[in-house]
Chains A and B, each alone.
Chain A
Amino acid sequence: MSSENMNLTLKVWRQRNGQSQGSFETYQAKSVSPDMSFLEMMDVVNEDLIKGGKDPIAFDHDCREGICGTCSMYINGRAHGPVKGVTACQLHMRSFIDGETITIEPWRATAFPVLKDLIVDRSAFDRIQQAGGFVSVNTGSVPDANAIPVAKACADEAFNSAACIGCGACVAACKNSSAMLFVSAKVSQYAMLPQGDVERKDRVIKMVSQMDEEGFGTCTNTEACEAECPKGISVTNIARLNREYLRAKLTE
């Protein structure tokens, strides 16, 4: 499995808090095992920093198995780094070469302000969901699960949209910092299921309006979002969002 350990140079964005100016700092990561995950490499660098009396690099992470959507690093110019279909926590150091310089930046979007170093505030996503990303059913007042048949193809498609982990890589990767992929995935999930049909119009209008209020950019259909999405959410969802939105607005 493991081949030779590597020595790497890291250029990392450091910023004390949301109010302060940030800058890049350079660090050496020595004797990095190719079996380490990217975040484990960061752990090792941080241990060294602490031992050296310096402030460790703050970065968001939690499950470290690619599902919670917490980690959010822009590595060498790519959201979640160079490997397709994975989050930074699933990125392994075997994807890098000895002696390489790695630039690490936070997600950059006005709607995702930096809180510290590589940590950004993604609560805009929560607010978009709060605007309408739900089916209005109270606990207990629901029919039997099998009373709502759903064609397998629809259920599978809805699942594919629902697989979004809300990490924000789509926004980070988009040249316009657009949140269309995220919003479209949620709108699509409900649009494809009978459960979501009742509030379909209201939902899409409210979610888009909140998205706009948060200050995300618009979609230029570069499809960078799909390419960088760790869960492979398709831009087909964006077309569906546009369709849902237009239909809702034109028949409002």
Chain B
Amino acid sequence: MTLDSKIPAGPLSEKWDNHKFKLKLVNPANKRKYDIIVVGTGLAGASAAASLAELGYNVKTFCFQDSPRRAHSIAAQGGINAAKNYRNDGDSVYRLFYDTIKGGDYRAREANVHRLAQVSVNIIDQCVAQGVPFAREYGGLLDNRSFGGAQVSRTFYAKGQTGQQLLLGAYSAMNRQIAEGKIKSYTRHEMLDVVLVDGQARGIIARDLVTGEIERHAGHAVLLCTGGYGNVFYLTTYARGSNGTAVWRAHKKGAYFGNPCFTQIHPTCIPVSGDHQSKLTLMSESLRNDGRIWVPKEKGDKRKPEAIPENERDYYLERIYPSFGNLVPRDIASRKAKEVCDEGRGVGSTGLAVYLDFADAIKRLGKDAVEAKYGNLFDMYKQITGEDPYQTPMRIYPAVHYTMGGLWVDYNLMTSVPGLYACGEANFSDHGANRLGASALMQGLADGYFVIPATLGDYLASVERKPISSDSPEFDAAEKAVKDGIEKLLSIKGNKTVHEFQRELGQIMWNHCGMARNEAGLKEGIEKIKQLRNEFWKDIHIPGTDQELNQNLEKAGRVADFLELGELMMVDALHRNESCGGHFREEFQTPEGEARRDDDNYTYVAAWEYKGEGQPEQLHKEKLDFESVTLTQRSYK
């Protein structure tokens, strides 16, 4: 199968409008004859479910959490970008597009990104109308802040809770449709497989996580809005439950995986404190607006930060990147932090941290102003570390935060399996090799509120309007496979816990496929994963049964999938002989240590096709054509 991205013809700024006009429509009376399955109820899933139900489709939503409102979109702190130009600072749809393409190191589709920038303005309108309490100025109009990778202030925010507020907005829209009977919400349910009938996605197999019952759900289309797979690294800013199971099982059913190695490491997280750690907590990137990042100039300087005089501090981001300073994109900020720590100039007990200092900001703006802006983040930091950031600089270190890679989708967000769609972080589409801050919320909502409601009809218009039965050989087979898989897991009764496997896998991924990668390390990593996977299937021990609420069983299924997905990430990282965005191959860097792209050979999306257990995956390349922007080496100096 060849990859057809279905990018519409015509000038960049007219593509989306032209495309929308050309898409087939489903007449309003017929919409209620279609059943849509939405898996995941974060920003993408909740907004898609609500919008599709408003259009008249029958929607079923699934989430593993106890309520749709708890999806991890809720944890995004800083904000959401939109090209409103309310600040009169020269912003425009084109500039947001340009910043995003450039920030993504030219590994995203122009057409998708431009559409994202276009609809960004509608997102803010929509959210405000829903009652999302964005920050406002005294005149009653919306406030903006600036964010990494941009020189304009286009980020809308709700204190440090933008993600929660936006998700609650989408959740409220969903609730309205649930009340109207257009959405049926299944909580504490996990999708365990996609069911294909005649090569088209026609339903899912899900497990009721309370009773353990395996259920069949049929529909005319399936939307995967299940977020990213960063938890393959174990210690991340993701929620403990975030997983790659839905996308991975879809992948195994034929959906290509796009750019799996593109993962984002967020520069401002609270450093690891010990072996027991289960999670890394992110501090919003907005802190970089006023905080200054530094390390001591001397190696192994163990003095307290206050005791180190100004001239013995190295504000390395301001030094290397005078024009963007502390606001360079995330991949650069993270990598530089790793470099200074590797040089032995890291701070804190582990030496794996740099300072983020607010002393100047407090002097300049006053403690009250700093508190008003960042109070909740400071409180959180203090609660976790026991240190007061008003008195002493924060210690931060990068942590895995987002996956730009995901299921390959065409311009309509359909995967390579007809009828199977992927929205939000679950797809690979808009961020290229690196995502800019405050763009994840934007993409999730763009996909859910504005893209999928327009594009889904085009597919459904050609699908028969009769109900899909879940009583078919395909559903039988899928259900049996799921049940067999669970039984296999439970029957091993080995000696190691899921937790142990997950940690080991995370270590392998972080060491071999983390902030910096190289050929030898990746090859070694692949071998290690294979070994660990073998061990997993021989030695996993899962207490309890499948007929009850069994959190270890849930986790085991997810880790089993991560053990396969992790390998594909490494294979992808190994094949991409260049450095771009979050993918930094040590062999490919400029003399100054910056990422060196290879545009001649790697200006494409790597879409991997599953070929069966134990078989190498097949690479398909979707060439990226840049008509509007010129590819340049990113420079934030």
- A: which residues have CB within 8 A of B? 1-2, 16-17, 33, 35-37, 39-41, 43-44, 47, 49-51, 53-56, 58, 60-70, 83, 85-86, 90, 92, 94, 115-116, 119, 121-123, 125-126, 129-140, 142-146, 148-152, 155-156, 158-159, 162-163, 165-166, 189-190, 193, 195-196
Contacts and interface: CB of A to CB of B under 8 A. Distances in A.
Contacts of B65: 62, 68, 70
Give the most central of A55, A126, A131: most B CB within 10 Å. A126
B251 interface: no
A147 B384 CA distance: 41
B278 A64 contact: yes
B380 A58 contact: no
B528 interface: no
B538 interface: no
Contacts of B51: 139
A54 B128 contact: no
Contacts of B164: 67, 163, 165
Task: Return the 9 tightest CB-CB contacts between A and B, nearest first.
Answer: A149-B140, A142-B129, A134-B172, A159-B133, A64-B279, A145-B128, A158-B133, A139-B51, A155-B136
A123 B129 contact: no
A37 B552 CA distance: 20
B30 interface: no
B276 interface: yes
Nearest to B548: A17
A54 to B, nearest CB: 7
17 contacts: A1-B349, A36-B276, A67-B75, A67-B163, A68-B65, A68-B70, A68-B239, A116-B549, A123-B187, A135-B129, A142-B125, A146-B141, A149-B141, A156-B136, A159-B133, A162-B165, A189-B133
Nearest to A206: B179
Contact of A138 (B54, B136, B185, B273): B54
Interface of B: 47, 50-51, 54, 65-70, 72, 74-75, 84, 86, 122, 124-142, 158-159, 161, 163-165, 168, 171-173, 175-176, 178-179, 185, 187, 210, 237, 239-241, 273-274, 276-279, 281-282, 349, 379-380, 383-386, 449-450, 453, 497, 499-500, 541, 543-544, 548-549, 551-552
Given A142-B126, A190-B131, 19 more contacts: A35-B273, A41-B276, A58-B551, A64-B240, A94-B386, A115-B210, A123-B67, A130-B178, A130-B179, A131-B179, A139-B126, A142-B128, A145-B125, A146-B84, A149-B140, A152-B136, A155-B136, A162-B168, A189-B133
Nearest to B72: A63
Contacts of A122: 66-67
Contacts of A133: 172, 175
B615 to A, nearest CB: 34
Contact of B384 (A49, A92, A129, A190): A92
B240 A69 contact: no
Q: Is the interface of A mostly helix, strand, loop or mixed?
A: loop
Given A70-B70, A126-B185, A195 B131 contact: yes
A64 B131 contact: no
A86 B210 CA distance: 27
Contacts of B68: 126
A195 B168 CA distance: 15
Given A165-B164, A193-B131, A195-B128, A50 B276 contact: no
Interface centre among B134, B140, B499, B541, by most A CB within 10 Å?
A: B140
Interface-centre pick from A58, A65, A133, A163 (highest chain B CB count, 10 A): A65
Contact of B66 (A60, A85, A158, A195): A60
Contacts of A189: 131, 133
Contacts, number: 228
Contacts of A55: 543-544
Given A1-B385, A2-B274, A65-B380, A50 B130 contact: no
A129 B175 contact: yes
Nearest to B132: A162
Contacts of B386: 1, 92, 94
A118 to B, nearest CB: 11
A33 B276 contact: yes
Contacts of A125: 67
Contact of A47 (B84, B179, B450, B497): B497
A94 B387 CA distance: 13
A2 B137 contact: no
A22 B99 CA distance: 57
Greatest chain B CB density within 10 A among A63, A92, A144 is at: A63
A126 B185 CA distance: 10
B161 A67 contact: yes
A51 B131 contact: no
B241 A155 contact: no
Given A33-B274, A68-B239, A115-B210, A135 B185 contact: no
A17 B549 contact: yes
Contacts of A140: 122, 126, 449-450
B140 A151 contact: yes
A166 B130 contact: no
B59 to A, nearest CB: 13
A165 B122 CA distance: 26
Given A115-B549, A122-B66, A146-B142, A68 B72 contact: yes
Contacts of B379: 85
A43 B276 contact: yes
Contacts of A47: 497, 499-500
A107 B452 CA distance: 39
A35 B294 CA distance: 25
Contact of A2 (B171, B240, B273): B273
A150 B140 contact: yes
Contacts of B163: 67
Contacts of A158: 131, 133
Contact of A139 (B50, B66, B165): B50
Contacts of A152: 136-138, 140
Nearest to A70: B70
Contacts of A40: 276-278
Contacts of A195: 128-131
A150 B175 contact: no
B453 A139 contact: yes
B384 A126 contact: no
B56 to A, nearest CB: 11
A17 B544 CA distance: 13
A63 B74 contact: yes
Nearest to A160: B133
Given A54-B543, A149-B140, A70 B126 contact: no
A67 to B, nearest CB: 5
A121 B66 contact: yes
Contact of B276 (A44, A56, A64, A69): A44
B276 A135 contact: no
A159 B75 contact: no
Nearest to B277: A40
B130 A135 contact: yes
Given A116-B549, A133-B172, A139-B50, A68 B129 contact: no
